[in-house]
């Protein structure tokens, strides 16, 4: 299966996360939670986790052919994510209805259990983005 590197937001680039888009349109990454993402002592900040899923869902929306902006995001925190844990993040487009793009994403802990689930509604709005690329790709046929 081939995959391509995703260049996304400056926030996610600053965190050091490298997302990939897979052949089936899923956007995924593995990332080790560091001290910079800490909220409660020893655990990841919920906002950092939400940002990771938001970025993945936004990229999945973008690579589905729409230039979507988020209009609704929801997150269910199932269990805490310890600092130092290498998590797996993935997101996909579930369906499209006109300009609406419905997405979902998850963060898994190393043992395979779900830590966070998210869903998002994005709306195709190319007029707001002008010529600015939100996400770009670089080939990586691993």
Instruction: Give the tens place of pLDDT for each residue, 86-126.
Output: 999 999 999 999 999 999 999 999 999 999 999 999 998 87
Domain encompassing residue 127? 3-131
Nearest CA-CA partner of 57 in 79, 76, 38, 74: 74
Asked if the structure places residue 138 within a domain, the reply is: no
CATH code for position 30: 3.10.129.10
Per DSSP, helices labelled H in 1-142 are 10-15, 46-63, 126-129
Task: Look at 116 and 69; give whichever has higher pLDDT.
Answer: 116
Instruction: Give catalytic residues, as residue numbers.
Output: 54
Asked if the structure places residue 9 within a domain, the reply is: yes
Residue 141 tokens read as 């046929």
């Amino acid at each position: 299966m081939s995959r391509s590197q995703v260049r996304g937001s400056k926030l996610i680039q600053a965190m050091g996360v490298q997302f990939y888009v897979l052949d089936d349109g899923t956007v995924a990454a593995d990332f080790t939670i560091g001290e910079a993402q800490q909220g409660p002592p020893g655990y990841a900040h919920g906002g950092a986790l939400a940002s990771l899923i938001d970025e993945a869902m936004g990229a999945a929306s973008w690579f589905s052919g729409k230039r979507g902006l988020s209009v609704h995001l929801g997150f269910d925190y199932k269990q805490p994510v310890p600092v130092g844990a290498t998590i797996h993040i993935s997101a996909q487009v579930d369906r499209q209805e006109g300009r609406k793009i419905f997405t979902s994403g998850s963060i898994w802990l190393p043992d395979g259990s779900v830590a966070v689930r998210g869903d998002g509604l994005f709306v195709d709005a190319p007029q707001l983005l002008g010529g600015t690329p939100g996400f770009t790709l670089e080939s990586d046929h691993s």
